[in-house]
Amino acid sequence: MVAVELTTARSKLTPTSERTREQLILAGERLFAQSGLDSVSLRQINNAAGQRNSSAAHYHFGSKDALVRAIYEYRGERINQRRSAMLARMSAQECGQVRPLIKALVHPIVAEIEETEGGGHSIIFLSQLYSNPALDLMSMWRSHLSESVGTIYQHMREVLPEIPEEVAGMRFGLMWVAMINTLADRQRLMTTRASETAVARTLPVLFVSNVIDMLCGAAAAPLSADTLAELNELRAATRQ
């Protein structure tokens, strides 16, 4: 339903109006990444997008919250398409291994950062989004934009059946947030005295490969005695 509504709404826009909308999205994403979600107004975004009409942002989105969601959808749709295409190219053997699945989780986001207009701002914006308690992140997470992530999670469950469901879901969420924040932190360092930071001297491919290694380790890590004890206690409590 969400996908149909988005497609219908966009089909009514002229090419000029569509470009104006995109300019506002990119300007908003950039300003939010630079100053935070709570410190930027629609008027500032309007000016940054070079819009003479002072109400252009309000016309296209209605509110700042709606613009924030539009930015999320703009990036999420593109990343979801990249990831879906990557999954479609993967063999059955690759879909049965942890590392290719984690690569399919990470690489589409990295490609969006490195290959698109404003991509560097997008990861910082996303990091801020996940740390903002006022936003309904669960509805965003469960939208059609996360279909490819859900596919990866299901494959991971088949590859790692020894990880209990209660732990697997929690672990996957923690991995996702860690990935977003790690990529965002690197982007921040790259734009802040970049030549003086160790991360700037690390080859991007090496950095990403190392992130994937760490996520693979987190996904497949055996449960400790402590975690097993807590899990058993949780299960006992839910049976009462």
On whether residue 231 sits in a domain, the answer given is no
At 93, phi and psi to the nearest 5? -65, -45
Q: Is 65 left (phi over 0), alpha (psi -120 to 50) or beta?
A: alpha
Buried b (16+ CB within 10 A) or exposed e, 60-83: bbeebeebbbbbbbbbbebbbebb
Q: At what angle do helices 98-115 and 147-159 cross, to 10 degrees?
A: 160
Task: Tell me which residues of the chain have a pLDDT lower than 50.
Answer: 1-9, 11
Task: State how far the Cα of 103 lies from the Cα of 224, in Å rounded to an integer.
Answer: 26
pLDDT, position 132: 82
> Are 21 and 60 contacting, i.e. CB atoms less than 8 angstroms apart?
yes
On whether residue 230 sits in a domain, the answer given is no
On whether residue 228 sits in a domain, the answer given is no
- The domain that contains 91 carries what CATH number? 1.10.357.10
Q: Considering only CA atoms, give the Rg of the chain.
A: 20
pLDDT, position 55: 87
On whether residue 207 sits in a domain, the answer given is yes
Using CB atoms within 10 Å of the CB of residue 167, give its burial: 0 to 12 exposed, 13 to 18 middle, 19+ buried. middle
pLDDT, position 201: 57
CA of residue 172 relative to chain centroid, distance:
13
pLDDT, position 175: 95
Domain of residue 65 covers 2-223
On whether residue 233 sits in a domain, the answer given is no
On whether residue 240 sits in a domain, the answer given is no
Q: Domain total for the chain?
A: 1
pLDDT, position 227: 97
On whether residue 237 sits in a domain, the answer given is no
pTM, full prediction: 0.86
Task: State how far the Cα of 79 lies from the Cα of 177, in Å rounded to an integer.
Answer: 16
> Are 110 and 182 contacting, i.e. CB atoms less than 8 angstroms apart?
no
| Neighbour tally for 41: CB within 10 Å | 11
For residue 99, give every residue at least 6 positions away whose Cβ sits within 8 Å of its Cβ, in sequence order, or none: 212, 216
On whether residue 238 sits in a domain, the answer given is no
